[in-house]
């Protein structure tokens, strides 16, 4: 049998690649944990509706100004809540891209 079989530069490269993958996986887990606790907020209707969402797109709260309720009809309220939720989702995605983008190298997650 030939000496040095399955040894040499190729094996070292594989070990290095595995170490890089493990580091990347750890960084992604840390970023995901951070996203789960960081929040973003968005408002609609001049601040009458406020939505708070986590970086992993979980809605934490929806606040509606009591003053707004005096004059709002159901359809207007629905539109404002929908707008605030969508804005909060956009903010949450931007936070996710900020934290995960450098780790994933632009890969979709």
Helices then strands, each counted (H, E), the chain = 3, 3
Contact assessment for residue 58 and residue 51, using Cβ atoms and an 8 Å cutoff: no
Return the biggest CA–CA distance within the chain: 88
Question: Cβ-count burial of 56 within 10 angstroms (0-12 exposed, 13-18 middle, 19+ buried)?
Answer: middle
10-103: CATH number: 3.30.1310.10
Q: What pLDDT sits at residue 88?
A: 97
Contact assessment for residue 27 and residue 48, using Cβ atoms and an 8 Å cutoff: no
Residues of the chain with pLDDT under 50: none
Q: What pLDDT sits at residue 94?
A: 94
| Domain-wise residue ranges, the chain | 10-103
Q: What pLDDT sits at residue 13?
A: 76
Q: Confirm whether pTM is higher than 0.95.
A: no
Q: What pLDDT sits at residue 46?
A: 93
Q: What pLDDT sits at residue 17?
A: 85
């Amino acid at each position: 049998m030939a000496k040095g079989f399955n040894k040499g530069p190729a094996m070292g490269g594989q070990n290095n690649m595995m170490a890089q993958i493990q580091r990347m996986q750890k960084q992604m887990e840390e970023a995901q944990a951070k996203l789960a606790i960081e929040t973003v907020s968005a408002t609609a209707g001049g601040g009458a509706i406020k939505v708070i969402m986590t970086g992993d797109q979980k809605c934490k709260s929806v606040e509606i100004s009591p003053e707004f309720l005096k004059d709002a009809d159901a359809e207007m309220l629905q539109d404002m809540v929908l707008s605030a939720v969508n804005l909060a989702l956009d903010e949450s995605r931007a936070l996710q891209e900020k934290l995960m983008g450098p780790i994933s190298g632009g890969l979709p997650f």
